A and B are shown apart, each in its own frame.
Chain A
Amino acid sequence: MKTLNCTGIVKKFGNNEVLHGVDLTLEKGKIYGLIGRNGAGKTTLLSIASGQNPATKGEVTVSNSDDIAVQPMKVWDNQDALDLICFSREINVTAGNQGIGGLKVKDYLRAARTYFPNYDKELEDRLVKEFELDVKKRMSKLSKGMLSMVTIIVALASRAPYTFFDEPVAGLDVVARETFYKIALEEFAESERTFVISTHIIEEAADIFEEVIFLDKGQVILKENTQELVERVVHVSGKEEEVDAICEGRKVYHVEKIGRSKAATVMLEPGEELKNTADITVQPMNLQQIFVAMCGKEA
């Protein structure tokens, strides 16, 4: 089966362990939202999953064949596997005019064209036009939003079967964000590509995520179909004993006590429905509220 698998990924920086045995399977042809607070390990996980940095422990493999007899390929230091992946990460131009900052946008895009085997120049041209990006400018002269556009263009035009976006809409204005979502969905519909989009702007992007992955303190705490998750997780409030009765035997993520009342975030069984009663109020939750409830604090 066409998947990218992370098995037991541990990452340490010195004595600081930032990923604690992450297991994750990304299936071909899905859009995943990777959601986590600052420092949760999103970029580290994506850089390891894409073979750009090594894991301290664990392994990343990728398979591009539906034939189960075909062994998955290790990603680390394997060009055949790396050719299937694009992780277009944030561009750092703090070095001023040296290196990347001194490159013109067109030179940076030309480099991407050289490296990604399925690179689509026509798509690149279209995106440059849609984002109204001046390719003659030096990278060091671009705003944060414009740099995000460059990373989006490289990621989409790479036509890599597994494409990871690292905070792609950071710094983009609302029009550019809409353009990104629209083109990403178009590209997704036309191809069998897998997108992983890490973002802080959860609600805006929630509609395009087929599945969400919540990463908290270096661990995947949830990987669910977005629609099912939003249907199953509810906010229950009311009399303490009634709320406790509902919580009994169910996954409870966040509990709040206000005087004699209680509120809880509860995950229902698939297909299960809770209705409002005189003592209980059941409210649906959006993705951001679910994330906040699960991770305790604001994203």
Chain B
Amino acid sequence: MTGLERNLKYWFSYVGKSIGQIYLMIVGIVAVMSFLDGSDFLMTFSKNLVMYLVMASAMSIMVFGFSNITIIFPTTVSFSSKRSTSLIGMTVAQHVMCILSFAVAFVFGLYIEPNFRPMAGPAIPVVLGGICFLFFIGNIMAVLSDRFGRTLGMVLYMLFVFALVFVIVFGYNYLAGGKGEALVQALFTNLGAASVIICALGVLLDVIGVWILAAGIKNKDLKF
């Protein structure tokens, strides 16, 4: 096996197991909750599952992103793996597992909300873009916590999130109220194009996040 194959094998197994345990727990809790609810079990189960699955996936991107880069990644390096291949393995495994869980949530979402089905096509790139955006945020959190420690890293991360929200809101208002008004209206009337743009932006940010993470760990003295 090449170094990359070993890393893909390990990271898929590790991330799969970690996320799998959480999802199993969620399914169990949601099943009990839905059973106790007394109404249509399948419908209640699906509604709850979608909500918890999306929440858990979004949280796991943040939590695992940090612990994987600070604890598991150094372990793989201590097993004589190249840093870059381990990072690729980690990134691919996390993305695939999270996309799969969002896909499950998406399918259940279509089941409980039939009116949403015609919009499923344009929604897929939006969901993908959203996942990529979450990974971007997760990677920024991992970089800041890894570099500045948990406390200061978390403070800087919060500042970063505030700044990001400000830029998004300010940027949207600026575009919607100014010369970009026509563009914004066009995007709202052409959901296909809007979803592709959102997806592309998400992917771009995700790539930037991974690149920042890779640059941060390239020549870093790892703590084992």
Contacts and interface: CB of A to CB of B under 8 A. Distances in A.
Interface of A: 13, 50-54, 77-79, 82-83, 85-92, 95, 98-100, 110-112, 114-117, 154, 160
Size category of the binding interface on chain B: 20 to 34
Top 9 A-B pairs ranked by shortest CB distance? A99-B71, A115-B79, A79-B3, A82-B80, A114-B10, A54-B219, A79-B82, A53-B221, A99-B67
Which of A50, A54, A115, A160: most chain B CB closer than 10 A? A115
Contacts of B83: 77
A50 B82 contact: no
B10 A85 contact: no
16 contacts: A50-B80, A52-B78, A54-B221, A77-B83, A77-B84, A78-B82, A82-B80, A89-B78, A95-B67, A95-B71, A100-B72, A110-B13, A114-B10, A115-B79, A116-B80, A154-B79
Contacts, number: 75
Contacts of A89: 78, 224
A116 B81 CA distance: 9
Contacts of B68: 99
Nearest to A53: B221
Interface in B167-202: none
A154 B79 CA distance: 9
Contacts of B10: 111, 114-115
A100 B221 contact: no
B129 to A, nearest CB: 30
B147 interface: no
Interface in B112-147: none
Nearest to B66: A98
A160 B68 CA distance: 26
Interface in B1-33: 1-3, 6, 9-10, 13-14
A124 to B, nearest CB: 14
A117 B71 CA distance: 22
Interface string B59-78: 00000000110111001111
